[in-house]
Amino acid sequence: MTTLIRSDATRGSAMAAVAIAGLVIGALWFSALAVLIAMQVLGGYYPADADTYMAVFLGMIFLLAAVAIDIYRKGFMPDELIHKIRRPKLVPPRTFR
């Protein structure tokens, strides 16, 4: 049986924090643009490409959020699932019955 090696939280890098901050600001920007398009549509002004813009803006929000979560996971979360290296299991050969 292996035992789980607990490690202290890694010291997060400053560049990862800056990258996450930039990605969050970008996600907020695209959120504001999506709200602006939604308010225009609710107000009665429905441009022909409102659906396309809304899809692009919401897609960018989810893409930026995914990248920010990935950078946070790699830069700031400790590696909790590092197991000890186990010796190889030796199984004696059995004769065919």
Degrees to nearest 5, angle at CA 39 with 36 and 41: 110
Taking only the tens place, the pLDDT of each residue in 8-37 is 556 778 899 999 999 999 999 999 999 999
| Single-letter amino acid code for the residue at 2 | T
* H or E segment and range at residue 22: helix 14-42
pTM assigned to the model: 0.69
Q: Give CA–CA dist 3/19, Å, rounded.
A: 35
Taking only the tens place, the pLDDT of each residue in 38-63 is 999 999 988 889 999 999 999 999 99
Kindly report which listed range (3-7, 38-42, 90-94) carries the lowest average pLDDT score.
Answer: 3-7
Q: pLDDT value at position 89?
A: 73
Q: pLDDT value at position 91?
A: 75
Helix (H, G, I), strand (E, B) or coil at 78: coil
